[in-house]
Structure 1
């Protein structure tokens, strides 16, 4: 091998590295600047499938990765935020949104007369501007802009390196033979496209590589089409991987994505094969990067239009692939689904990983709230048959606390902006406070158990007092969890009012109870338990106030 070949190989691999790295840091910068807006977009999805398609396309265009969008969809289905019918629309939109990068790449195919409009012409300047922002700017927004600029610039500099390294060898027989074989064999062409995409886990990147080869005029039309169809199938791998270990519906969402892309590849593959048999001159002609962009967009839009009315059928088909389990296993799975499936593959999208953390902290808060209500019903309504359930729920809250702590530690090490890092810290504090709410609920249940075992009871006045203060404490926790979920200032204000109310009631009731004890109106043993209950309820409201305070800090 002479030095010229070696230099070309190094240039191609270096260009490929810059292209992939540029895409990565551009998408990362987009996610940081967009923050949780991407996930709020997904939450807007209703049964309006057209809106779902639009949102899926928009998010994918921002992220430059249909894989990242479908991973988010699988996660939201797993968390119960999206149902399968809604997920279908977002998945369809993701396939349309992924074409945006192909169009960016195809701009490099403009003629010399339009050279100043080609990204490769101004890409070095974009990198320089981005570097200047990163080195000399102290503002976070400008640093993020610099990061995005460097990503965009490296993407096109990498493409220039790749196309430049291939250009001297466009007349080599190996290229003509390779693409002739792929063009004659649709199955082989589709497999190659799927395999390359599966390896680099990005259909956007693999389409870009194909376009780079097409710029040199070595790609035949039929081979490019078969490879592009395969690339769409290969893009499903990321979602399939992310669904491992998730709920049944989350697995079905990834199956829908695979079914959708496979159907389109089969239909278009058959169509291209028929055309190649009837018009071999068209099939064997060369194709440029602009034409690949046109076909890529045409394929995804047409596939969406064809299958758009059949969303329910896609859902039904996914149910045939991922079947219902037996009754006993279904019950077990339902119970497991109540606990979060914190899949580490979602760390590919830091913003989404953080959003999942928020959702699961809310989930933990609702578990603690439900157990608090159950414990107070045991205490005030003598529902002693629920004691074991309270203790069991507290064990689950402790397990969830440990899982969430480990998860948030990993999220904290991801590429997050300053606001997101503050949110992660607040989530750490929140789960600590919510775990303490669970502990105090357990204390209330133990107090009820002690009263039962020793045959003790409170006076009617004492019971009414406890009902009043426990209602205020429960309300504080309820509004704190709602504030964490929705970020509403009204909930935060309600927590503050209720916490003040609990403090006032606790002080008044403690004084009145001591007075009753001094008059021998209460059993001293029951009186000690009463004061302990007041203390626990007061501490519960304090923890609720803390949780709401963290949300206020973020706002």
Structure 2
């Protein structure tokens, strides 16, 4: 091989690795949000776990990425250690898909029709049409698919360049001698493991071996140990990922390592023991890309079938290898709560968005419960519940900090339009949720003040407040359900109810002023009453912000004020306002008081 062929080989290798990465990233982007659903289907059924692992790895074209995700899920406490074995075994099967894709280059020997299926014919056409779509089509899904297609075309072109550049090695005695040495099982395995560990992709190292098979020098005897070593070398990525993780996360990475090591060792012992007794004649036969893909698939499938029945033994073995310390490993409370926000999921932005949404919904439910507790304290104060309210306020602050930081990291990644919309909505809404929690705590503080001073509202004021409280709690229920379910129909009901709550607030203030004038309320209670109305009004405003943000982003509306005006001018809005006004009527007041109230409202309006 001269310097020009060597330069071509390096260029082909670069294109091959780049195409594989681009195709994998594109597939991850397109399917990332669905990975959580697929992983969520994993049960104690080992067959399902293997199928899930196979499916995910076939989609994202990387067993290393699948295993890293498994390590992250275990570290977050979202996946039991016992259920990782099947997924990891399935990942080894799924990664063989790439090798079969690369065999397309071997089609078409002497047949015009089969020549049409060769990458040398269709890869340039795929690249041409994909680039055209990327340049002129605005549809996001089509653009993402075109990026995958471009990655595939570059991958196949790189494979072709590598194969062509190494053809001259067929006449090289040194190259022949090199692969004769690789017939030594231990040396071949070592080379395969080291190469795969360096490039951190067994699919890529298998592809390189397939490209080298074009020389006609590689035999079964030299290829088999290399393939076995490649399956061991791919474990490096998961082992690195398990650094600074929980004990179980480290164990899941060890399961991946031991599964591949034990599988390779068992195969080597059985295969080469038989070979000593009755030598296999085919070991000196040349093999091509298809044979490499076939052996790789048969090996991984047979290893899975052999070791799957011992999955529980694997778990016990790694637990024995990494025993719990005498003082049980204590995981900080914040890590338990925010474990779903795993940095490892950032490599799959769609999955990271789904995890953020799960945590944001948990935050929303806490905020709703906090508000319910705080309002309940107005009627029956309890020191323990007050402390819970105080703790919830601090917890929600932590949620906002962790979620905000994590979502900023996600926003730096490449996202689909839908994931970007969800992320933007959550980033805006967690601030409103935190403010709702703050105002809920202010209600609890007002309840504490009334309890400490031994003062209470009149029955009339309590009955009026009860209507506002009921409307507010219903508004919060609708808002949280709409937010967590991404239900735009429910979100559309929030603004009309918020409008009614604003009206109730105004009327309660007027009635309160009338009671002050009549001496039926003290100034001290008046301040508390006003604080409560302000807090409840602010909670309703933030509920409105969350719902309006959801609708705006779904309609890609940019001007908030124009959107609100158009919303409030609609017929549906006025109908819902009328409906809610009937449902949340304040208690009637005497006619004389009503006349005085109208006069008071007019005087306040004219100020």
Label 1:312 to 1:482 Cα distance change in 2 as closer, same or farther (>3 A): farther
Kindly indicate whether residue 55 of structure 2 is the aligned counterpart of residue 58 of structure 1: yes
Counterpart of 2:163 in 1: which secondary structure?
helix
* Cα deviation, residue 134, structure 1: 1.8
Write the distance in 2 (CA, Å) between the matches of 1:545 and 1:320: 54
**What is the CA-CA distance between 1:364 and the residue it aligns to?**
3.0
Deviating more after overlay: 357-366 vs 312-321 = 312-321
What is the aligned partner in structure 2 of residue 526 from structure 1? Answer: 525
Supply the distance in 2 between the matched residues of 1:463 and 1:248 (Cα, whole angstroms): 54
Unaligned 5+ residue runs, structure 1? Answer: none
2:239 paired residue number:
240
Aligned to 1:352: 351
SS in 1 for 2:414: coil
Query: Kindly tell me: are residues 513 and 151 of structure 1, through their superposed partners in 2, closer, same or farther at Cα, counting changes over 3 Å?
Result: same
User: Structure 1 residues 124-133 or 466-475, which shifts more?
Assistant: 466-475
Which residue of the partner structure matches residue 70 of structure 2?
Answer: 73
Aligned counterparts, 1:324-403, within 5 A: 324=324, 329-330=329-330, 332-340=331-339, 342-403=341-402
CA contact (8 A) 2:32 2:348 kept: no
Q: TM-score, normalised by structure 1?
A: 0.87
**Residue 329 to residue 54, structure 1, CA distance change in 2 (3 Å):** closer
2:293 and 2:214 mapped to 1: Cα distance?
12
CA contact 1:242–1:343 (8 Å) conserved in 2: no
The equivalences for 1:114-193 within 5 A come to 114-186=114-186, 188-193=187-192
User: Shift of residue 280 of structure 1?
Assistant: 5.3
* Alpha-carbon distance between aligned partners in 2 of 1:456 and 1:17, rounded to the nearest angstrom: 78
- Cα deviation, 1:100-133, whole Å, max 9, x if unaligned, reads 1110112222352243322233222222222222
Paired with 1:465 and 1:71, the residues of 2 have a C-alpha distance of 57
Partner SS for 2:156: helix
Distance in 1 separating the partners of 2:317 and 2:466:
52
1:463-542 correspondence to structure 2 within 5 Å: 469-470=468-469, 472-474=471-473, 476-488=475-487, 492=491, 499=498, 502-503=501-502, 506-507=505-506, 509-542=508-541
Q: State the shift of 1:499 in Å.
A: 4.7
CA contact 2:108–2:117 (8 Å) conserved in 1: no
Q: CA RMSD in A?
A: 3.2
1:304 and 1:549 map into 2 onto residues whose CA distance is: 51
Counterpart secondary structure, 1:36: helix
User: Residues 189 and 225 of structure 2 are in contact (CA less than 8 Å); yes or no, is this contact kept in structure 1?
Assistant: yes
Q: Offset at 1:529?
A: 1.8
Moved more, 410-419 or 538-547: 538-547
| Structure-1 separation of matches of 2:438 and 2:241 | 34
- In the TM superposition, what is the alpha-carbon distance from 1:55 to its structure 2 partner? 2.9
After superposition, the Cα gap between the structure-2 partners of 1:498 and 1:300, relative to the gap in structure 1 and judged at 3 Å, is farther
For residues 10-63 of structure 1, give each alpha carbon's deviation from its aligned partner in whole angstroms, at most 9, with x where no partner exists.
111111111111112222222333352333333333444433332332222121
Distance (whole Å) between structure 2 residues aligned to residue 488 and residue 299 of structure 1: 48
Aligned mates of 1:468, 1:247 — CA distance in 2: 50
User: CA, structure 1 residues 77+516, in 2 after alignment: closer, same or farther (shift >3 Å)?
Assistant: farther
Instruction: Please list the CA deviations of residues 503-553 of structure 1 after superposition, one character each: whole Å capped at 9, or x if unmatched.
Output: 565455445444444443444323322332232233223323433444454
After the TM superposition, which of the residue ranges 511-520 and 407-416 deviates more from structure 2?
511-520
SS class of match (1:117): coil
2:210 is equivalent to residue 220 of structure 1: no
| Pair member with larger Rg | 2
| Residue number in structure 2 paired with 1:43 | 40
8 A Cα contact 1:96 1:301, kept in partner: yes
Question: Equivalent of 1:105, from 80, 84, 102?
Answer: 102
Normalised TM-score (structure 2) = 0.81
Residue deviations 1:157-193 (CA, integer Å, cap 9, x gap): 000111111110123233333333333133x433332
* CA deviation vs aligned residue, 1:121-157 (integer Å, no higher than 9, x gap): 3222222222222223333333223212211111010
Match of 2:230 in 1: 231
- Work out the CA distance in 1 between the residues paired with 2:537 and 2:463: 16
Equivalent residue, structure 1, for 2:595: none
Report if the CA contact (8 A) 1:133-1:142 is conserved.
Answer: yes
CA distance in 1, matches of 2:163, 2:92: 26
Cα distance in 2 between the residues matched to 1:329 and 1:452: 43
Shift of 1:391: 3.5
Q: In the TM superposition, what is the alpha-carbon distance from 1:361 to its structure 2 partner?
A: 2.2
1:32 to 2:29 alignment: yes
How far apart in 1 are the matches of 2:517 and 2:297? 84
Identify the residue that residue 297 of structure 2 maps to in structure 1.
297
Partner-residue secondary structure (3-state), 1:279? coil
Conservation of the 8 A alpha-carbon contact between 2:69 and 2:344: no
SS in 2 for 1:96: helix
Q: 1:210-231 CA deviation, whole Å, 9 max, x = no partner?
A: 2111232232324322222232
Quick one: distance in 1 between partners of 2:260 and 2:549? 43
